[in-house]
Amino acid sequence: MATAAVFPQTSMGAGMYESFYLRTVSAREPVGAWIRHTVHKAPGRPPRGSLWCTIFDAARGRPLMHKLTSDELEVPADGWIAVGRAGGAAAGEGRAAEGPGEGGRLTPDLAAGRCGPARWALRWSAQESELRHLRRSFLYRTRLPRTKLTSPAPRARFQGTIEIAGREPLEVDDWAGMVGHNWGAEHAERWIWLHGIDFAESETAWLDVAIGRVKVGRMSTPWVANGALSLDGRRYRIGGLGARGLRVAESPQRCRLHLAGESGLALDADVEVPSETAAGWRYTDPDGSPHDVANCSIARLSIELTLPGADRPRSLTTDHGGAYELGMREQDHGVPLAPFGDG
């Protein structure tokens, strides 16, 4: 399944959303970026694009958040998605994108854009092959689940520059990160996305898992996890419909998870969001119903592992290499929301 935009093939009568996104984080300090290129399509209406830019810096507290929504939306000849007036003469040359207006583009080796006070040009390279979170290929063709997700690059490296008006430029010199892609007819009723990279014990290890509850009538299903852990050159599948023993304790500030994987893998993860560093956004389903989302892409993450056939447990820790996202219906979570609508 090659990575490609889904929205051009969606019928006018259908509703859908789609997102191509990246995260990257400095190895030296709790500074990072989370950039999304999204499509929102209500039934019977043409799709619109949005560019979301979030820059995290724990020393500054609240992240910088800005969003552009535009009717200018396309699949560029060299890549996946372009929103607004994307590109610019300097894009991809190690300088932040310049041009007549705001916009952004993501291709298989470049992210470039300008959004409010921020602009960026980032060359990136995948360090590992794509992760399909859903185990069976046919699930990407069926109506259910109503959210599909993959990570074209679950581990990636980034080079370039992020510029923010009034600040010193961020020189992105071999920062770690990932690139993701999801789409569907509606978001899960409640979800967690957890990504970990740049662990002290292993610079090549990564964790990428999505956990969700789906509304069926008036009820919500139990939590279901899908994803993988990569360690010592081996990829371990996590979760699936038949997985047992999943435990979740979540809030916008902290999350504790117990996950099971293939061949007896057991994983306990503890995520902590540094004070006032969570970004708050509002997502809207194609039918107009909202979710509030708290995301921290410079989170502390510790993992305790029981590996198949191992004599003793393993630990993975990172001070700020975790990305933790919680999507929820409640609006009394205490995370200030960016003043931008969706759709």
Which CATH number fits the domain that encloses residue 168? 2.40.370.10
- Which of 85-92's residues contact partners 24+ apart within 8 Å by CB, and which partners? 86/112, 86/113, 87/112, 88/112, 88/114, 90/121, 91/121, 92/121, 92/123
What is the pLDDT of the chain when averaged over all its residues? Answer: 92
Its domain, for residue 285, covers: 16-328
Residue 93 predicted with pLDDT over 50 = no
Is 81 domain-assigned? yes
Output 93 or 53, whichever has higher pLDDT: 53
Number of folded domains in the chain?
A: 1
Is 334 domain-assigned? no
Does pTM top 0.85 for this prediction? Answer: yes
Residue 173 predicted with pLDDT over 60 = yes
Is 10 domain-assigned? no
Is 3 domain-assigned? no
DSSP alpha helix (H) spans, the chain: none
Bridge-based pairing of strands 16-25 and 31-41 is antiparallel
Handedness of CA 314, 318, 323, 328 (dihedral sign): positive
CA neighbours within 13 Å on the CB side: how many for 66? Answer: 15
Is 336 domain-assigned? no
Residue 292 predicted with pLDDT over 60 = yes
Write the CA distances from 138 to 47, 142, 289, integer angstroms: 26, 6, 28
Token digits for 182?
A: 């999801």
| Percentage above 90 pLDDT, the chain | 81
Name the pLDDT band for 88 (thresholds 50, 70, 90). very low
pLDDT in the model for residue 244? 79
C-alpha to C-alpha distance for 130 and 226, rounded to whole angstroms: 14
Token digits for 338?
A: 């960016």
Mean pLDDT across the stretch 142-171? 95
C-alpha to C-alpha distance for 222 and 99, rounded to whole angstroms: 48
Mean pLDDT across the stretch 278-295? 95
Among 88-92, 188-192, 229-233, 301-305, which is the least confidently predicted range?
Answer: 88-92
Token digits for 188?
A: 């899960």
CB atoms within 10 A of CB 141: 9
Is 338 domain-assigned? no
pLDDT in the model for residue 87? 53
Mean pLDDT across the stretch 170-175? 98
Residue 91 predicted with pLDDT over 50 = no
Phi then psi for residue 68, to 5 deg, are -120, 130
Is 269 domain-assigned? yes
Residue 97 predicted with pLDDT over 60 = no
Phi then psi for residue 322, to 5 deg, are -95, 145
Is 341 domain-assigned? no
Name the pLDDT band for 94 (thresholds 50, 70, 90). very low
Name the pLDDT band for 81 (thresholds 50, 70, 90). very high
